[in-house]
Amino acid sequence: MTEFIHPGFVLIFGALLLPFAMGPLRKPYIMLVPILAFMSVLNMQHGTYGVVNFMDWELTFGRVDALSQVFGYIMTLMCIIGSMYGLHVKDPKEHMAAWMYVGGSLGVIYCADYITLFIFWELMAFTSVFLVWFRKRKESLPTGFRYLLVHTAGGLILLAGFVLRYKATGALDFNLLDVDHPALYTYLIMVGFILNAAVPPFHAWLPDAYGEATVSGAVFMCAFTTKTAVYALARGLAGLDILIVLGVIMALYGVVYAVLENDSRRLLAYHIISQVGYMVAGVGIGTQMAINGACAHAFAHILYKGLLFMGCGSVLYMTGKSKFSELGGLYKKMPWAFVFTLIGGLSISAFPLFSGFVSKSMIVFAGAEQHLYWASFLLTLASAGTFLHTGLKVPYFIWFGKNNCSKETWEKAADPPWNMMVAMAVASFLCIFIGSYTPYLYKMLPYQNEAADYALHVYSSYHVSESLQILLFTALGFFLLIKKLAPEPTISIDMDWFYRIGGRGFFWLARKPIQTFDTWFSEVYRTVGLHPLMTTSKFWSWFDWHGIDGVVDGLARFVRSLGTKLRTVQDGRLQHNIYYAVAIVAVLIVTYVYG
């Protein structure tokens, strides 16, 4: 057996062959492929593999080191859990999209040059969008297009960044950039990365898409895009100071919007933004302790956030509802889903013995070590908000609280099918295992000395006491102010307003003058052109039909068709425009480099 089999390719080829595994073979096959991918990660030895010469460039598909291994490990593991959770889904296309999406993530994680990175980066966006579309609601289509549009824009900024870097330095390698002397291209690459990490103001795609994705699709989406971006930031931009500020803003921004949110899955999505904020801040701090913290937190986060999306997803799957204002009091009907979601909630809130406790605090600790007390305090403040929502609000308003269920919702509610239960049980076990037995996670971290140092501190009486006080007194505040938190059937306007309403304004501007011109032209044509002339002579009539009609009406038709074209741009042909935009910008950039 060779030392390196790319787990991403295992998943991509596995996805292509999936339609051929029919009947009784389907379910074993769905479990087998992610397990093979996971085993290929376990089997890897550190080194560089899969170097391919393509034109003038050297593409590297397999860079295996401690940093890529910790991400590769958790992503393939999550792929197994997610596939298990979606095992009941009949449509093979959903599994195919999910696996190719994970394949894209793994491609980014193991690559060592920007061209390979870019290809897999785009693969992620163009496959994960199907996990939104397969929900098949009326809103799914436009939501998917918005998701694709934002990611394509981000991809182009990333492309511009690394091509500028290539022009300036002749290098395409994907390694740590000179963060002490950032150039324009450094910032462009950063914007490309942080858009996928959902850093405000580039974050609105995340709650928009994850709230709309299919039940099992959201379990995949919540794990891969943002954490792949965290990996890319840790690899390329560790120590870039601005990331500390952005990370802290993210952590708090997600908390504020989570207070306002009425949809459970959108609330969880806002908490992804908050949690990824810790990782982005960790990358910005950039010390070995902080990078360890970012990796550990990404690892723990993938599991507990997947678990939370599985828990709320199972409520959605069984009842068809995900809004707090349409749920409540379900503990009698879905007790196991409650227990698993609560474990996810305690993990994300960093309760002692749960996974978040051993990962999140590492970043806060790294900040304090660098005397960035403001960052550490604000991140601690955000963690109170995390418990407030994910640990308390989500379980309380779905399983307790006022029963807002309709009769139909109440009757449909029950614990989900066995495969979903198994997936949640496995994730729950891992969340507790990571929190209780620290060497499992700490032995995988890239910097072993720092991890060993921190292992001595993590369960010190001071840290345990500090965390418990913050959490339990947050709970006190929650129950005292619970009336204020009662669900409100609203949506929260976020940055997507700019491309949802702003975009509409653009099309109105484009359409309105052209339509006016069109109508006006027809009017002129009717009164000046057609009417008087028809009454004078056959000659003029003939001239009108063959001359004016040909020219003027042709023009009018042309203008009208232009208006129609712009309308279709808005309606549905967006994918073509996206492809054209990508192609044109790519060509422009390449011409600029070689011109």
Partner 1 sequence: MIVKLIDYLRDRLKTVIRICYGVLALLVLYDIFFVDKHSAHLAIEKVPGFWAIFGFIACVLIIILSKWYGHVKWFGSDFRVMSPEDFYDD
Of 32 and 259, CB closest to partner 1: 259
The least distance separating partner 1 from the CB of residue 338, rounded to whole angstroms, comes to 7
Task: Find tokens 């909630």 and name the residue.
Answer: 345
465 in contact with partner 1 (CB under 8 A): yes
Of 215 and 485, CB closest to partner 1: 485
The least distance separating partner 1 from the CB of residue 475, rounded to whole angstroms, comes to 8
The least distance separating partner 1 from the CB of residue 259, rounded to whole angstroms, comes to 4
Q: Which residues contact 188 (CB under 8 A, 6 or more apart)?
A: 157, 158, 160, 161, 164
Q: Which helix (H) or strand (E) holds 62?
A: strand 57-64
Report how far residue 38's alpha carbon sits from residue 5's, in angstroms, rounded to the nearest whole number.
Answer: 11
570 in contact with partner 1 (CB under 8 A): no
The least distance separating partner 1 from the CB of residue 380, rounded to whole angstroms, comes to 7
Q: How far is CA 217 from CA 9, 52, 499, 546, in A?
A: 20, 33, 24, 59
Report how far residue 366's alpha carbon sits from residue 270's, in angstroms, rounded to the nearest whole number.
Answer: 24
φ, ψ for residue 203, nearest 5 deg? -110, -15
Of 55 and 480, CB closest to partner 1: 480
385 in contact with partner 1 (CB under 8 A): yes
Which one of 114-122, 170-178, 384-392, 559-567 is the stretch in contact with partner 1 (CB under 8 A)? 384-392
CA 528, 530, 533 angle in degrees (round to 5)? 85
The least distance separating partner 1 from the CB of residue 496, rounded to whole angstroms, comes to 9
434 in contact with partner 1 (CB under 8 A): no
The least distance separating partner 1 from the CB of residue 359, rounded to whole angstroms, comes to 19
Report how far residue 157's alpha carbon sits from residue 56's, in angstroms, rounded to the nearest whole number.
Answer: 23
Q: Please say whether the beta carbons of 70 and 109 come within 8 A.
A: no
Of 119 and 259, CB closest to partner 1: 259
Q: Which of 23, 170, 181, 462 binds partner 1 (CB under 8 A)?
A: 462
CA 261, 266, 268 angle in degrees (round to 5)? 100
Of 102, 134, 77, 99, whose CA–CA distance to 29 is shortest? 99
Q: Which of 407, 484, 594, 595 binds partner 1 (CB under 8 A)?
A: 484
Of 284, 115, 295, 128, whose CA–CA distance to 199 is shortest? 284
457 in contact with partner 1 (CB under 8 A): yes
Q: What DSSP character marks residue 25?
A: G
493 in contact with partner 1 (CB under 8 A): yes
> One symbol per residue from 339 to 378: x for binding partner 1 (CB under 8 A), - otherwise; what is it?
x----------------------------x----x--x--
567 in contact with partner 1 (CB under 8 A): no
Q: Please say whether the beta carbons of 593 and 166 come within 8 A.
A: yes
Q: Which of 171, 184, 468, 588 binds partner 1 (CB under 8 A)?
A: 468
The residues binding partner 1 (CB under 8 A) are 255-257, 259-260, 331-332, 335-336, 338-339, 368, 373, 376, 380-381, 384-385, 388, 457, 460-463, 465-474, 476-478, 481, 484-485, 488-493, 500-501
